[in-house]
Amino acid sequence: MLTLSGIKKRFGPTVALDGVALELRPGRVHALIGENGAGKTTLMNIAVGALVPDAGTMSLQGDRYAPASPLDARRAGVALIHQELSLCSHLTVAENILMGQEPTRRGLLDWDQCRRRAADVLEQFHHAELRPDRRVGDLPIAARQVVEICRAIVSNASVVLMDEPTSSLPRADVDRLFAMVRRLRSHGVSSVYISHFLEELREVAEDFTVLRDGRSVLSGELASTTDAELIAAMVGRSVEDVFPRRDRAAPGDVLLEVEHVAAPPAVSDASFAVRRGEVLGIAGLVGAGRTEMLRVLVGLDRAAAGRVRVRGAEIRTGAARPWEVLARGIGFLSEDRTHEGLTLRLSVADNITCTRYGSCARYGWIARSEQARQAEQQMRALGVRARGPAQPVRTLSGGNQQKVALARLRHQSADIWLLDEPTKGIDIGSKVQIYEAIGEAASEGKGIVMVSSYLPELFGMCDRLAVMSRGRLSPVRPIAEWTPERVLEAAIGS
């Protein structure tokens, strides 16, 4: 169907792609696997004409294929569904689906045909309830994803490229998306599917190609390849054990006590305690109130009821004063890395030291060399790949950005770490480094609360676990008393 060979692309001094081959067979779903920064998104942008390769050839159904723009690619039947939702929220569903190829009659937009064509596609994919006249901004995220996919196929695309379409979706919507991908396949459409989640890829894809450092290093059929082989190809070394082994010594004093905290409507009742040296996991569905609970503990939102004690001293939860909470030794890692977790335009050094500038400043004057030294120390400890402490965080890959965010907690020397989805959307290599840092912090006597939607990581990292369901936190139990099935049962709240 679509064949890429010998694709090369460099941006200034950086080699993004250094010889990539990929063969997409007709009516198949092809998984494109690789760490962040391996070149997956660059490759997709080339396939869809947004970038021009420096070398290499592409062919579509046997013919030479060299799109000069996304419009060219669409005309040829190749469509890309973007990593970030790329819809115009002020416009209607129909306008978004037909954007770039709006039907006209006598110079005016043909609204009837617009609605009809949009409704046709929506119905074809069993989403007739999504009315073409709805404003996209009023739709839930999952419905927007449907609009995005319909836009890709309205032009009768024969090849659909999907760049991490599930990174912001809860599980139920992931299932719906997969059903859609299968329906596309049954209509004879071939897809390339990019995701970090191997389990997910196995559900939906047949073939795969692994990218590493801009090269295609392994390809074949997923059914005959093990996860270990895939991971080894991705990171270039075999990851014996993704999760660090640590001595689970008896936990020490209680660091953080939470009693019947409520912050309606998201959080109705949460109680737990964290001791020195332990990792407490919090599982639950997206939207169960886990993030909101952490935000209350950090003082970003107000609590309506309940008590929170840090090392025995009560903190005011009704006041929402994050600076006071941080000063008590609580460190917070937001799940929203780009908006809340980091200031992307500032340097790595500023991001790492900003919660404790005092360590490198006198009378408000920051000693740049001391700041750089402290930042470099943290960068080494976490293996942050950057040119130096002065590099803007914006220019780092997702995994490295997350390491910078965690480095800030280390630099803050917070005793209590509240981590919200600490490995969301990052590559396996970075995940391993973040797991190591968390394990090390626990061994040093810190108390860690880890919210995650990824069960293997909760089971791999935590000493004890609680499950949040519709705002209520279950009792905390040792990890050995949980199984994935029990967690799921508690999360659904049956």
If the CB atoms of residues 12 and 107 are measured against other proteins, the closer one turns out to be 107
Determine, following the binding rule CB under 8 A, whether residue 91 of this chain makes contact with other proteins: yes
* The binder of other proteins chosen from 7, 36, 39, 95 (CB under 8 A): 95
If the CB atoms of residues 96 and 355 are measured against other proteins, the closer one turns out to be 96
* The binder of other proteins chosen from 9, 30, 40, 82 (CB under 8 A): 82
Closest to 254 in 3D by CA, of 447, 57, 37: 447
Instruction: Report 443-462 residues binding other proteins (CB under 8 A).
Output: none
* The binder of other proteins chosen from 27, 111, 168, 225 (CB under 8 A): 111
Rounded to a whole number of angstroms, the minimum distance from the CB of residue 86 to other proteins is 4
* The binder of other proteins chosen from 64, 68, 108, 237 (CB under 8 A): 108
Q: Which stretch binds other proteins (CB under 8 A): 86-94, 214-222, 347-355, 438-446?
A: 86-94
* The binder of other proteins chosen from 27, 56, 70, 493 (CB under 8 A): 70
Determine, following the binding rule CB under 8 A, whether residue 107 of this chain makes contact with other proteins: yes
Q: Which stretch binds other proteins (CB under 8 A): 32-40, 95-103, 192-200, 411-419?
A: 95-103
If the CB atoms of residues 85 and 142 are measured against other proteins, the closer one turns out to be 85
* The binder of other proteins chosen from 25, 90, 187, 394 (CB under 8 A): 90
Rounded to a whole number of angstroms, the minimum distance from the CB of residue 85 to other proteins is 8
Pairing state of beta strands 464-469 and 447-451?
unpaired
If the CB atoms of residues 88 and 367 are measured against other proteins, the closer one turns out to be 88
Determine, following the binding rule CB under 8 A, whether residue 104 of this chain makes contact with other proteins: yes
Determine, following the binding rule CB under 8 A, whether residue 344 of this chain makes contact with other proteins: no
**Are residues 267 and 296 in contact, defined by beta-carbon separation less than 8 angstroms?**
yes
Rounded to a whole number of angstroms, the minimum distance from the CB of residue 88 to other proteins is 4
- Cα 131 from Cα 147, distance rounded (Å): 11
Rounded to a whole number of angstroms, the minimum distance from the CB of residue 107 to other proteins is 7
If the CB atoms of residues 114 and 407 are measured against other proteins, the closer one turns out to be 114
Q: Which stretch binds other proteins (CB under 8 A): 22-30, 74-82, 158-166, 391-399?
A: 74-82
Rounded to a whole number of angstroms, the minimum distance from the CB of residue 294 to other proteins is 21
Q: Which stretch binds other proteins (CB under 8 A): 92-100, 121-129, 163-171, 177-185?
A: 92-100
Determine, following the binding rule CB under 8 A, whether residue 140 of this chain makes contact with other proteins: no
Determine, following the binding rule CB under 8 A, whether residue 229 of this chain makes contact with other proteins: no
Determine, following the binding rule CB under 8 A, whether residue 345 of this chain makes contact with other proteins: no
Determine, following the binding rule CB under 8 A, whether residue 69 of this chain makes contact with other proteins: yes
Contact residues toward other proteins (CB under 8 A) are 50, 69-71, 74, 80, 82, 86-91, 95-96, 99-102, 104, 107-109, 111, 151
